[in-house]
Amino acid sequence: MRAIKIDAENSKMYDIEIETGWREIPKALHSKAEYFQPVRFTDNTDLIVDEEGLFKDYGFGFKVNGVPFVGNGILLSVAGEDYTDVYTDAESIDIDLEFVQGLQVRL
Protein backbone atom coordinates (compact mmCIF):
# COMPACT_ATOMS: atom_id res chain seq x y z
CA MET A 1 0.00 0.00 0.00
CA ARG A 2 1.09 3.57 -0.62
CA ALA A 3 2.24 5.59 2.39
CA ILE A 4 4.16 8.75 3.23
CA LYS A 5 7.33 8.28 5.27
CA ILE A 6 8.57 10.99 7.61
CA ASP A 7 12.25 10.07 7.55
CA ALA A 8 13.51 12.13 10.48
CA GLU A 9 16.89 10.40 10.41
CA ASN A 10 17.57 12.00 7.00
CA SER A 11 15.26 15.05 7.41
CA LYS A 12 13.09 14.06 4.43
CA MET A 13 9.47 13.20 3.70
CA TYR A 14 8.64 10.99 0.71
CA ASP A 15 6.24 8.41 -0.73
CA ILE A 16 6.86 4.70 -0.08
CA GLU A 17 5.19 1.36 -0.74
CA ILE A 18 4.51 -0.99 2.18
CA GLU A 19 3.39 -4.59 1.84
CA THR A 20 -0.15 -5.04 3.13
CA GLY A 21 -0.32 -6.30 6.70
CA TRP A 22 0.31 -4.83 10.10
CA ARG A 23 3.57 -6.78 10.53
CA GLU A 24 5.16 -4.81 7.68
CA ILE A 25 4.56 -1.38 9.24
CA PRO A 26 7.34 -1.48 11.89
CA LYS A 27 9.85 -2.57 9.22
CA ALA A 28 8.99 0.53 7.19
CA LEU A 29 9.50 2.80 10.22
CA HIS A 30 13.07 1.78 11.12
CA SER A 31 15.16 -1.34 11.64
CA LYS A 32 14.93 -0.79 15.44
CA ALA A 33 11.11 -0.67 15.43
CA GLU A 34 9.22 -3.78 16.58
CA TYR A 35 5.82 -2.32 17.47
CA PHE A 36 3.89 0.69 16.24
CA GLN A 37 1.46 3.14 17.72
CA PRO A 38 -1.13 4.97 15.60
CA VAL A 39 -1.90 8.60 16.35
CA ARG A 40 -4.96 10.13 14.68
CA PHE A 41 -3.73 12.76 12.21
CA THR A 42 -6.97 13.60 10.38
CA ASP A 43 -10.41 11.98 10.24
CA ASN A 44 -9.16 9.39 7.75
CA THR A 45 -5.38 9.31 8.34
CA ASP A 46 -3.15 7.93 11.09
CA LEU A 47 0.41 8.93 11.89
CA ILE A 48 2.26 5.73 12.74
CA VAL A 49 5.24 5.93 15.12
CA ASP A 50 7.48 3.47 17.01
CA GLU A 51 5.53 2.50 20.12
CA GLU A 52 8.78 2.09 22.07
CA GLY A 53 10.55 5.08 20.53
CA LEU A 54 11.07 6.84 23.85
CA PHE A 55 13.07 3.85 25.10
CA LYS A 56 15.43 3.71 22.11
CA ASP A 57 18.42 5.90 21.40
CA TYR A 58 17.34 7.17 17.99
CA GLY A 59 18.85 10.64 18.43
CA PHE A 60 16.37 12.08 15.92
CA GLY A 61 12.69 12.80 15.64
CA PHE A 62 10.14 15.26 14.34
CA LYS A 63 7.34 17.56 15.39
CA VAL A 64 3.89 17.72 13.79
CA ASN A 65 1.91 20.81 14.76
CA GLY A 66 4.45 21.29 17.58
CA VAL A 67 3.92 17.79 19.05
CA PRO A 68 7.24 15.87 19.31
CA PHE A 69 7.75 12.27 18.19
CA VAL A 70 10.89 10.12 18.48
CA GLY A 71 12.24 8.26 15.44
CA ASN A 72 10.52 8.15 12.04
CA GLY A 73 6.82 8.26 11.14
CA ILE A 74 4.46 6.96 8.48
CA LEU A 75 1.14 8.37 7.30
CA LEU A 76 -1.53 5.87 6.22
CA SER A 77 -5.21 6.31 5.46
CA VAL A 78 -7.81 4.51 7.57
CA ALA A 79 -10.67 2.48 6.10
CA GLY A 80 -12.80 1.09 8.92
CA GLU A 81 -10.38 -0.96 11.02
CA ASP A 82 -7.83 -1.39 8.23
CA TYR A 83 -5.12 0.74 6.68
CA THR A 84 -5.17 1.61 3.01
CA ASP A 85 -3.30 3.80 0.52
CA VAL A 86 -2.69 7.27 1.85
CA TYR A 87 -5.07 9.80 0.27
CA THR A 88 -2.35 12.16 -1.01
CA ASP A 89 1.38 12.27 -1.70
CA ALA A 90 4.37 13.75 0.09
CA GLU A 91 4.54 16.79 -2.20
CA SER A 92 0.86 17.69 -1.80
CA ILE A 93 0.17 17.05 1.88
CA ASP A 94 -0.43 20.07 4.11
CA ILE A 95 1.57 19.36 7.27
CA ASP A 96 3.36 21.53 9.84
CA LEU A 97 6.52 19.41 10.06
CA GLU A 98 9.82 20.14 11.78
CA PHE A 99 12.76 17.70 11.95
CA VAL A 100 14.76 17.41 15.18
CA GLN A 101 18.35 16.09 15.24
CA GLY A 102 20.49 15.36 18.29
CA LEU A 103 17.39 14.44 20.24
CA GLN A 104 17.95 13.23 23.79
CA VAL A 105 15.05 11.69 25.66
CA ARG A 106 15.08 11.67 29.45
CA LEU A 107 12.52 9.52 31.22
pLDDT digits (tens, 9 = 90+) for 3-33: 999 999 999 999 999 988 778 888 899 888 8
Instruction: Look at residues 91, 49, 101, 44 and name the one whose alpha carbon lies nearest to residue 73.
Output: 49
> Within 13 Å and on the Cβ side, how many CA atoms surround 76?
29
Task: Read off the pTM.
Answer: 0.90
Q: What band does 105 get if pLDDT is binned at 50, 70 and 90?
A: low
Would you put residue 51 in left (φ > 0), alpha (ψ -120 to 50) or beta? Answer: alpha
Q: Is the pLDDT of residue 49 over 70?
A: yes
Taking CA atoms, 80 is separated from 12, 44, 51, 75, in Å, by: 29, 9, 22, 16
